[in-house]
Structure 1
């Protein structure tokens, strides 16, 4: 039984903000000290015990980007298996309320026009959300 238990990967529940402003979407490139270094992602982070995904997202945006954002509709929840565990990522549409995003943990942040979203390498767990955002933004 112990051998089976050792093969079960840890589930890591995280949340992400799809921040849209003036027709552009905010992406963040993971820093060298982070797992998945160099990949782009929608900003967010781990859901702590007792938090809802929305509460976690609000907290993470304050900590990581020094902003306040209104967490809106749930966009998609995806799962992706990495070597370190299974990431369960809940992505939400968000609106910037206060502050301008600032670098604290990421190597770079950028506002992407829809046509530029696929010009960078996104973390695998974020890809489905990127595709959904792109489809929504390209609708007439």
Structure 2
């Protein structure tokens, strides 16, 4: 079974959290998620999260603290999602991959169709 580690940023400001909508042509297309991506071999979780936010949003972040990890098992892989609280450092923010973005309260996030692993994090926030 292939094991994949994924990191996600929990960005919070002014009582709202940031989520982004996945491209329609990707796995889980159209669902909302806390942004991030796969951890490459030899890369720390923090470095992967900083890299992914630069690649996907041209945004610089500071990783602050670990929140929780969740696991999802499919027929051929085990996916572990690691969530980290993070702060925006840069003011630039450009969607390069996602099709929409949203800042919302926890109640507002509950109305969005979140990816399964991302839905679980809401109870920890």
Using structure 2 for the length normalisation, give the TM-score: 0.93
Q: Deviations over 1:63-82 (max 9, x none)?
A: 10111111011000110124
Residues in 1 aligned to 2:102 and 2:75: alpha-carbon distance in whole angstroms: 28
Q: Aligned pairs, how many?
A: 125
Partner SS, residue 58 of structure 1: helix
Residue 97 (structure 2) pairs with residue 105 (structure 1):
yes
Higher fraction of helix: 1
Residue 88 (structure 2) pairs with residue 86 (structure 1):
no
Residue 45 (structure 2) pairs with residue 53 (structure 1):
yes
Residues in 2 aligned to 1:82 and 1:100: alpha-carbon distance in whole angstroms: 37
Task: From the superposition, tell whether residues 42 and 84 of structure 1 become closer, same or farther in structure 2 (CA, over 3 Å).
Answer: farther
Q: Which is bigger in relative contact order (C-alpha 8 A, separation at least 6)?
A: 2
Consecutive unaligned residues of structure 1, counting only runs of 5 or more, are 1-7, 134-140
Residues in 1 aligned to 2:75 and 2:113: alpha-carbon distance in whole angstroms: 18
Using structure 1 for the length normalisation, give the TM-score: 0.84
CA RMSD of aligned residues (A): 1.3
Equivalent residue, structure 2, for 1:138 = none
